[in-house]
């Protein structure tokens, strides 16, 4: 699991001399990512002289991707490696990512952060009269703090306070955003009475959970609640975007307008429907993206066909520090071009050369 301290380490790590390898792959159970990785490796090794300095990291990655990674249940994979620094961090992902292999003085974490930002870190305490167990859930993974299990906690008085203190220590060390108390209502109330006020405000009571549940059962229960919350959040953000755009506010809808806003560096938040893909064009000379031009609209050079311009746009948005949300559920944006963006500052969308997508139905 990617712990809060793992994430901090990645944020602060620098290796100016030897470089840090960052790998992203879309995951699939047919294991097409293995071939994607070897193609990427061959291509980048030819292009980049820096790759020879990290040959051992690349060998380890090759071994992991081809042999050790189990893709079931995952849609993406991020791995960071710097053997000289003792860094080896594997992050399976619940959302797809564009394949990328980079060697740089710092890890390339924008795609990872963009996904991680959509998930809350849960601390879980499961308690009854006999036991209290402590767990952590984040981005589709769960771990149990087995050395912290308390037997016969008797949640009244001193023992209840002891459980609360243990939980408090965990919250401080692991940066939990929410705390789930899995216990019957009377036990949950007695336990929460011992918690400091700030923690009481981040509590979620779940009487369907108890110390008898397996970690996997706890994970799937919390994931189900989280994906319901995600659905609501996506709907709210998509509605806000569509309303803003239709009121001529700082927002754009549809591929062409969104691409133009991205090119102008005006995007603050990019919303894109999961699975939405479109062919496009890329200028090999200046890097300009376009939808339908065989000549680059910026420099006039002949363009190359691009298999999926949407993934390239997501990548550029991340590189430009925009927030990106992949819409995993149906939203009003499905009838409005599948992609759109809220714009930063007071930039107002220029009129597009083609009419804006109309709301269907
Ligand atoms: Zn060009």
Give 353's pLDDT tier (boundaries 50, 70, 90). very low
Cα of 97 vs centre of ligand 1, distance in Å, is 26
Phi-psi region for residue 19, left (φ > 0), alpha (ψ -120 to 50) or beta?
Answer: left
Cα of 43 vs centre of ligand 1, distance in Å, is 22
Question: What structural domains does the chain harbor?
Answer: 4-116 (3.30.960.10), 122-213 (3.30.420.60), 229-343 (3.30.1330.30)
pLDDT over 70 (residue 184): yes
Q: What is the rounded CA–CA span in Å between residue 63 and residue 185?
A: 49
Tens-place pLDDT, residues 273-320: 999 999 999 999 999 999 988 899 889 999 999 999 999 999 999 989
Q: What is the pLDDT of residue 272?
A: 97
Q: What is the pLDDT of residue 183?
A: 93
Q: Residues 199-209: what's their mean pLDDT?
A: 92
Q: What is the pLDDT of residue 49?
A: 74
Give 359's pLDDT tier (boundaries 50, 70, 90). very low
Cα of 289 vs centre of ligand 1, distance in Å, is 8
Strands of 280-282's sheet in order across: 289-290, 280-282, 304-306
Cα of 281 vs centre of ligand 1, distance in Å, is 10
pLDDT over 90 (residue 63): yes
79 compared with 361, residue with greater pLDDT: 79
Contacts (Cβ under 8 Å, ≥6 apart) of 131: 149, 150, 151, 152, 153, 211
Cα of 336 vs centre of ligand 1, distance in Å, is 29
Cα of 50 vs centre of ligand 1, distance in Å, is 27
pLDDT over 80 (residue 46): no
Q: What is the pLDDT of residue 7?
A: 94
Cα of 354 vs centre of ligand 1, distance in Å, is 22
Angle of the 157-174 helix axis to the 185-192 helix axis, nearest 10: 70
Cα of 270 vs centre of ligand 1, distance in Å, is 24
Helix (H) or strand (E) holding 205: strand 203-206
Cα of 304 vs centre of ligand 1, distance in Å, is 10
Cα of 264 vs centre of ligand 1, distance in Å, is 15
Cα of 340 vs centre of ligand 1, distance in Å, is 24
Cα of 263 vs centre of ligand 1, distance in Å, is 13
Q: What is the pLDDT of residue 352?
A: 44
Mean per-residue pLDDT over the chain, rounded: 90
Residue (of 215, 173, 166) closest to 191 by Cα position: 166
Tens-place pLDDT, residues 336-347: 999 999 999 655
DSSP assignment of 161-223 equals HHHHHHHHHHHHHHT-SEEEEES-HHHHHHHHTTS-HHHHTTEEEETT--TTS-HHHHHHHHH
Separation of CA 248 from chain center: 30
Percent over 70 (pLDDT), the chain: 94
Provide the ipTM. 0.98
Cα of 247 vs centre of ligand 1, distance in Å, is 34
Cα of 64 vs centre of ligand 1, distance in Å, is 38
Cα of 190 vs centre of ligand 1, distance in Å, is 66
Cα of 305 vs centre of ligand 1, distance in Å, is 13
Contacts (Cβ under 8 Å, ≥6 apart) of 14: 105, 106
Q: What is the rounded CA–CA span in Å between residue 77 and residue 123?
A: 24
Percent over 90 (pLDDT), the chain: 76
Cα of 288 vs centre of ligand 1, distance in Å, is 5
Which residue reads 């190359």 in tokens? 304
Q: What is the pLDDT of residue 156?
A: 65
Cα of 261 vs centre of ligand 1, distance in Å, is 17
pLDDT over 50 (residue 249): yes
Tens-place pLDDT, residues 162-172: 888 899 999 99
Q: What is the rounded CA–CA span in Å between residue 159 and residue 129?
A: 10
Tens-place pLDDT, residues 146-164: 999 988 766 666 777 888 8
pLDDT over 90 (residue 71): yes
Question: What's the N-to-C CA distance of the chain in angstroms?
Answer: 43
Cα of 316 vs centre of ligand 1, distance in Å, is 16
- Cβ contact 160:150 at 8 Å: no
Enumerate the β-bridge partners of residue 325. 271
Cα of 285 vs centre of ligand 1, distance in Å, is 5
Cα of 267 vs centre of ligand 1, distance in Å, is 21
């Amino acid at each position: 699991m990617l712990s809060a301290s793992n994430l901090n380490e990645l944020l602060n790590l620098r290796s100016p001399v030897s470089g840090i390898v960052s790998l992203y792959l879309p995951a699939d159970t047919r294991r097409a990512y293995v071939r994607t990785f070897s193609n990427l490796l061959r291509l980048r090794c030819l292009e980049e002289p820096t790759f020879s300095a990290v040959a051992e990291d690349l060998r380890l990655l090759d071994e992991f991707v081809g042999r050790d990674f189990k893709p079931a249940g995952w849609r993406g994979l991020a791995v960071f490696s710097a053997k000289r620094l003792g860094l080896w961090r594997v992050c399976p992902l619940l959302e797809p990512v564009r394949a990328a292999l980079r060697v740089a003085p710092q890890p390339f974490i924008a795609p990872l952060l963009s996904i991680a930002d959509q998930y809350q870190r849960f601390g879980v305490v499961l308690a009854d009269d006999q036991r209290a167990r402590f767990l952590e859930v984040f981005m589709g993974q769960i771990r149990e703090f087995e050395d912290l299990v308390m037997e016969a906690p008797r949640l009244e008085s001193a023992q209840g306070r002891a459980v609360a203190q243990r939980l408090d220590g965990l919250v401080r060390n692991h940066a939990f955003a929410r705390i789930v108390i899995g216990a019957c209502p009377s036990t949950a109330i007695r336990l929460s009475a011992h918690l400091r006020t700030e923690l009481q405000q981040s509590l979620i009571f779940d009487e369907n959970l108890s110390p008898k549940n397996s970690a996997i059962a706890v994970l799937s229960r919390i994931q189900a609640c989280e994906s319901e919350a995600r659905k609501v959040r996506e709907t709210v953000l998509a509605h806000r975007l569509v309303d803003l755009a239709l009121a001529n506010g700082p927002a754009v809808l549809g591929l062409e307008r969104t691409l133009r806003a991205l090119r102008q560096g005006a995007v603050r938040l990019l919303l894109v429907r999961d699975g939405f893909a479109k062919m496009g064009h890329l200028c090999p000379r200046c890097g300009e993206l376009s939808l339908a031009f065989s000549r680059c609209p910026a420099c006039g050079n002949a363009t190359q066909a691009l298999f999926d311009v949407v993934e390239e746009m997501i990548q550029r948005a991340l590189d430009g520090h925009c927030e990106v949300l992949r819409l995993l559920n149906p939203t009003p944006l499905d009838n409005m071009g599948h992609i759109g963006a809220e714009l930063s500052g007071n930039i107002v969308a220029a009129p597009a050369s083609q009419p804006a997508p109309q709301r269907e139905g």
